[in-house]
Amino acid sequence: MRVGFIGVGNMGGPIATHLVEAKHEVQAFDLNEQSLERVVELGAQRASSASNAAEGAEVVFLSLPMPSDVEQVVSGDGGLFDVMASGTTVIDLSTSSPSLSRDLAVEGKERGIDFLDAPVSGGVYGARKGTLAVMVGGSEEAFARCQSLLETFGAKVVRCGDAGAGNVVKAVNNMLAFIGMMGTTEALLLGAKAGVDPRILREVVEASSGASFVWNSGTRAILRDRLAPSFTNSLACKDIGLAVDLAEEFEVPVPMGRRTQQLLEQYRDNGFADEDVLATIRFLEEEADFVVRGLAPDVS
């Protein structure tokens, strides 16, 4: 299949590579030349612009940072809806606004172009391994046509409902994950400063009611002090903001979500914008006058 791919950074690059390895003809574009060069070296074709990446493509993928980027690339002047043929499909892998996804699906339908919102979860590791969860919103027919393509890089590919449903599920998932991350940093620091070996603390909680994927992976990263940015706090602020906006739209109280949003924004505005979400534990360590990072570099 001839595929366009716009946005080949930390997440998009590995996903595009899986499509190349599956023998699809991938036309890639990114504003970052280094990111683009990496996928070209692995077999993708270089496109000179987003619209150039879409030329002749049956399906065009997006993996972009912000909803405003998605809107501009898809429906702005000279955007994908202006250059793609009837019968083609846009698949947005970005974490975006459900209402924007619904609007773009309506606009696309008017032009004979299907739009699927298909945000992913699993991080850079999952993108590289091809084990992402893919949450899809859109018509049953478009999903059926594209499911095998999504399974090229997704271990769990689920149609969640009509347009926008994928981003609803992603907003809920990320809000819950960030609440868990903030709780994990506090709990690990508290237990370690109170005198418990953090290895033992981690092991016991993992077998108890506090266990979660976030606890297991987050404590491992902190205790190893391997907190290079894989998901920045700035992006986390964007994502939880989408969840809180969704809650306002549907008049659902989310006090934990709002408090977590406040914490993430506080950390962002105090020098952590480009740091990994879990690296914000440094802020707590300073207040607690105790460092838990790196206490168990060999933890598995």
Give the tens place of pLDDT for each residue, 228-240: 988 999 999 999 9
| CATH tag, 168-288 | 1.10.1040.10
What pLDDT is stored for residue 230 in this prediction?
84
Average pLDDT value for the chain: 97
CA atoms of 258 and 245, how far apart (whole Å): 10
Task: With cut-offs at 50, 70 and 90, classify the pLDDT of residue 11.
Answer: very high
**Number of Cβ within a 10 Å radius of residue 254:** 18
Q: Is the pLDDT of residue 194 over 90?
A: yes
Distance of CA 39 to the CA centre of its chain: 19
Strand spans (E) along the chain: 2-6, 25-29, 45-46, 59-62, 89-92, 114-117, 120-121, 132-137, 154-161
- Domain over 2-162 is classified CATH 3.40.50.720: yes
Distance of CA 24 to the CA centre of its chain: 23
pTM for this entry: 0.94
Longest dimension (CA), the chain: 65
Percent of the chain with pLDDT over 90: 98
Domain ranges across the chain: 2-162, 168-288
Indicate if 170 belongs to the active site.
yes
Name the active-site residue from 23, 170, 193, 238: 170
Average pLDDT over residues 197-205: 97
CA atoms of 298 and 76, how far apart (whole Å): 50
Pair of tokens at residue 17? 């590579």
